Amino acid sequence: ELPGTVRFRDAQGNLVIAVENVETYHENVEIPDGYRPAVEVGDWVDAGSNLMTLTAAGRRDAMGDDGTLALPEDLVSQVSGEVESIDDDAIRIAWYETAEREYMPQSNADILVSEGQEIEPGTQLTDGTSNPHDILRISGIEAVQRYLVEEAQRVYRSQGVKVHDKHFEVVVRQMLQKVRIESTGDSKLLIDEVVDRSQYLQANEEVREQNGEPATASPVLLGISRVSLMSHSFLAKASFQETERVLTDAALQGSVDRLTGLKENVIIGRMIPARLDRSAEGRELLGLPDPEAVPAQPVTQGWEEALAAIASDDMAASLAAFNVDSDSASVSIGFSGEDGAGEEAEPDFSNLASAFFGDMAQPDEPVIAFDDDSGDEE
């Protein structure tokens, strides 16, 4: 965790690896006219020790009318340390601050460092698998990216399979796309909130435009499953896992998918936003809407058929019934509770895609209706 020198110690029969870090600080004390040094190079001085004495000429000049000597405070050492050098006009004092970290390896672990070796933060002390979260915290993003790619390549190389690094780098990049907010500044973000890096940068850019204090954050390493379920696109989340829950939550919350990612555009048969979505010209070429005014999105017949095909009986029981109001372009979700109802009606999924994308035309006016026991809509 810190740079320093490796020391081996014995603690009740167990080996302890200690890393000592010594920081050196200096202070220069000027020698005024009429004074000479009272210490020599190599002397240890305590805080408050006198460093200089008056010369004969200086004593006469410093003598007051009442016969007392007025000594300046600068002639006294403010710190405890060692006199490193003495020049004609200054005395240089050095003092040291020592920090130490101790690590107790397992008895069968192979030690990778030696006594007296100088190491840097993140240096591996013993053989074995490192914790990628520790690497991220100590050495930063680039170090953990290299570690994850190398560990993945090691598995494939052991089986004689050659895979280009770029394929692993794409996955690792997604695992490190989130940050945890440490201080909010003048932004609307929350402390300890995990947000996308682009959202964090955009929030800080808006704050800087108003001459405010930006937020600070630290990178977060997440697993592939969690990253996929934290996507802003409910289509991307639903295509990964927990489809029933994701689609139900999206319908109840009136979620709007702005189709800014690759997966959601592939799902509905659109061109992928190959970074052209950042400009107005690129959005026009890709057929993407203006983020400020989101129009209704067309949906391919293939997407409707695919969604109806993957809708199982369990999903039908979880989602109940979907009704599409084409005039208001909204999603209406109902749970039938009419008295005397016979067989439960099968849910209609044929226009489910149109329901979601029709809602995109008016994101501020979602309509969600529930039937109570009497059959009346709220």
The tens digit of pLDDT for each residue in 292-322 reads 655 444 445 545 555 565 554 444 444 443 4
pLDDT at residue 355 tops 60: no
Task: Name the DSSP letter for residue 67.
Answer: S
- Name which of 15-24, 57-66, 364-373 the model is least confident about: 364-373
Could you give the CA distance from residue 176 to residue 199 in angstroms, rounded to a whole number?
14
Instruction: Check residue 200 and give its pLDDT.
Output: 92
The number of beta carbons lying within 10 Å of the beta carbon of residue 163 is: 12
% of the chain at pLDDT higher than 70:
70
Angstrom distances, CA of residue 65 to CA of 23, 32, 70, 153: 47, 21, 11, 84
pLDDT at residue 83 tops 80: yes
How many CA atoms, within 13 angstroms, populate the side-chain half-sphere of residue 134?
9
At 86-97, the pLDDT tens digits run 887 888 888 888
Q: What is the mean pLDDT of residues 12-22?
A: 84
- Name which of 9-23, 138-152, 201-215 the model is least confident about: 9-23
What one-character-per-residue DSSP string does 139-150 give? Answer: H-HHHHHHHHHH
pTM (two decimals): 0.55
